[in-house]
Amino acid sequence: MSSLRVRFAPSPTGYLHIGGARTALFNWLLARKEQGTFILRIEDTDVARSTQESVDAILQAMEWLGLDYDEGPLYQSQRFDLYRSKVDQLVGEGKAYRCYCTVEELEQKREAALKAGGKPKYDGTCRERRDQPTGLPFVVRFRTPQDGETVFNDRIKGTISFRNDELDDVIIQRTDGTPTYNFVVVIDDADMGITLVIRGDDHLNNTPRQILMYQALGCPVPEFAHVPMILGADKARLSKRHGATSVMAYREMGYLPEAMVNYLVRLGWSHGDQEIFGLRELVEKFSLENVGRSAGVFNPDKLLWLNAHYIKAGDPQRLAALVTEFLLVRGIDPATGPDLVAVVRTLQERSRTLLEMAEAAAFYYASEISYELEAATKFLTADREAPLAALVEKLEKHATLDESAVEAAINEVLAETGLKLGKLGPAIRVALTGGTVSPGIFEMVAVLGPQESSRRLRRALRHLR
């Protein structure tokens, strides 16, 4: 084990979205590469908005992506006593103070500052206040130094500096006694020994305030690495209007976790021109030095392309297990028809998602085929009757047939009737599936089996007569 300790700290106020999942992945990859420690912390101090349902959704998404953690999940809501003691410590040392300004007074100060052309920061009215009125509501503010700069070296963005006099005396405890995000994240990261904070660059402006709090508490300051945001195709921040942003929504649409992981890592990180990465390879090659400084653009088509690649290259046994739930939702029990693994093999080349695969597999398990009107009119015609009947006769002689035997039987019919496969093939396809789009005829007949194929061909013969 190395000394590296990183964390992923989502708020359970909704699902795990694409941006959060990428942050978790970057932390996980670096921890695994350097044999460090990856911690999952649930930041649920927002009691009003945090739900167990959201916690469960986050844990399910982490499990689906394969991002196991070494410590956790740890919950901030179970650590309020620690936060209160640290607030009291800072107040006692003069590094934080009580502020009795009302909401109305603060709004007036804000408006006055804006009119004067200044920043709407707190003016420090209570900063040097000595009296401690009883019975009045108050917040606790951190006493930010008014001179100098806070400078840090970001592992992705380089050296960044902030003037301290531009920073606010940020609130660290609300009037109801609950601590605020900027404060508890410092306490937790210090208490958990976090050595590197990898997070989205929407947190960049929080960093100088947090560094000053580490220093005020006498705690080591971790390194920081701020990852650029993920944007939609219109270069606006990724949101629901760009499509699904929930990781688990993609699972429900039939995406594979390895495709999602591969896609997420490439949203801001690169290794030459390589696009396809296995998880073990990612652990070997990942580094913060190759994370770009510009925002990543979410491209659903690229994700779909990757998913199709992983389905095509996937283990049919595993894919069959995964596609089962998509079939059951459609009211199809794969135990009632041909071997699902064999079915999957016929569909891997043409399926981009498990949902597409389930839809394409439905005909294999149908008790009655519904013909597409245009296809049946065009291909189930009188001149196809004799060759289809001949094929039925040949198939019914066998209990099972492999693809080569099916091909041989069909070729015999073609030789006997003088037809080309281009003429007979569509009729067979419509008879077996109801339409003109399906896996290859030879493999399809082999999977359905000669008896079921014959039954469907006989029904098609009745139809065309």
- The token pair at 188 is 């937790």
- Average pLDDT in the chain: 95
Q: How confident is the model over 185-203, as pLDDT tens digits?
A: 999 999 999 999 999 999 9
Annotated active-site residue 109? The verdict is no
* Residue 236 pLDDT > 90: no
- Give the separation between CA 198 and CA 42, rounded to whole angstroms: 16
What is the average per-residue pLDDT within 204-218?
97
Nearest to 187, CA basis, from 89, 329, 54: 89
Q: What are phi and psi of 77, to 5 degrees?
A: -65, -15
DSSP of 389-408, one letter per residue?
A: HHHHHHHTT-S---HHHHHH
Q: Tell me what pLDDT residue 237 has.
A: 85
Selected catalytic residue, list 240, 312, 378, 397: 240
pLDDT (mean) for 201-214: 97
Residue 53, both tokens: 């349902």
| pLDDT given at position 48 | 82
pLDDT at position 393: 96
The predicted pLDDT at position 188 comes to: 98
pLDDT (tens digit per residue) in 100-137: 999 999 999 888 888 888 888 898 999 999 888 888 99
Q: Judge whether 8 and 24 are in contact, CB under 8 Å.
A: yes
- With CA atoms as reference, report the closest residue to 48 among 142, 203, 174, 205: 174
What are the pLDDT digits (tens) for 156-183? Answer: 999 999 999 999 999 999 999 999 999 9
The first and second tokens of residue 281, run together, are 């390879």
Q: How far apart are alpha carbons 310 and 285 in whole angstroms? A: 20
**pLDDT tens for residues 136-157?**
999 999 999 999 999 999 999 9
What's the pLDDT score for residue 239? 79
User: Which 3 state secondary structure label does DSSP give 430?
Assistant: helix
| DSSP code of residue 365 | G
pLDDT surpasses 80 at 27: yes
**Can you tell me the distance from the alpha carbon of 464 to that of 458, in angstroms, rounded to the nearest whole number?**
10
Predicted pLDDT at 132: 85
The Cα 221–Cα 195 span in angstroms is 8
Q: Are 231 and 40 in contact (CB under 8 A)?
A: no
Note the pTM of the prediction, 2 decimals.
0.93
Task: Identify the weakest region by mean pLDDT among 68-77, 240-249, 327-336, 346-355.
Answer: 240-249
Whether 240 shows a pLDDT value over 80: the answer reads no
